[in-house]
Structure 1
């Protein structure tokens, strides 16, 4: 298997797990007259979803690096992206997301004294932080820091990667060669646009400007639509 398909298998596994963790509970709550979820189960669902979403952010950045090497150094591609390197890059994505998720979860020392109704389809961390009567500024700071490391920095790396790819593609004189180079990136760029666009618009904006209904609508993109479309998007390339 080529490195691209190795990373795609990781991405497919992430999408499968993410949909399994979040969507059944969301559907149950939509059709239930009195939806209820205990706090430990809510915290578990939120942590696992956060871990999977973080791992996908980092994995998409790794896949951008794979595309850069494939287009910029095609003759050395198999040497640079060998088996141990691919395994190390994937394991780093999973490990870093586990560390960041653990930091965010351990910082959740919340005290509830009022309503315990979450205005969301699932146990989502920003919706959960609106319920406690204790100060949540530290938790919001942790989410901001995590968002910088898992959203903004990987997204910036992806943008720089595509700038380098565009520079290389523009130097290709044949239309067929240019089309072949662009076809290797089109599916990845589509997934990045949908996933990062939805995640950044949710987690990297001031909470004073957040709209619960809009956040729920956007969460459908990275919670249900993206895992559903990823196999279709990547199969179109083939």
Structure 2
């Protein structure tokens, strides 16, 4: 059995996913990262991981595309065999996501479907497909949002509801996979200054200051604040922690 641990991070080419890849690699893991678009960004992340002395592979995956999800396990096995001479991996980070405003009275069925396809159906079916490849004693880290707990202006009701569903799945999966020694936890970031949702938290100084004032630590988060949290939850040291929600929000709305 190899001592190398391998993590798979969906949406690992930018934002929180990219920060998670960097933190996992810094902790000594090799990484498979997925991207939907921006192959150039994925290549940059691979190069950054390799600069840390680790190995990385980038695979395209659209978690909203059923055929893509259903065929991904086979493509992952090919990558694992070709790069690591393995057919299993150790850490699954379900990070890929997007946001659209969903005001009551101004939201279409297509808006809801798009959110559901990525954040609930995609997370469920991908985890289901990859669970047989996850090594016993492995880790599943689902990425949720502080918006599943606290309510912010900005028409995020459906997004918050989808993330609440992910948190419920986390608890159920912790029980279902616990017999294999696999832990399943959820990391819920608060407001973070990335390009997510159009980059509003990153780019609008007034919004950033207002949200930061709600945090005990007095600022919004950066991607570099969240990546190490994901890596910590994925580490062997947290093997007795499962079915838990870890909010990384700087103490927002305590």
| Structure holding more strand per residue | 2
- Give 1 or 2 for the bigger CA radius of gyration: 1
Same fold (TM over 0.5): no
Relative contact order (alpha carbons < 8 A, sep ≥ 6): 1 or 2 greater? 1
| Structure holding more helix per residue | 1
TM-score (norm 2): 0.28
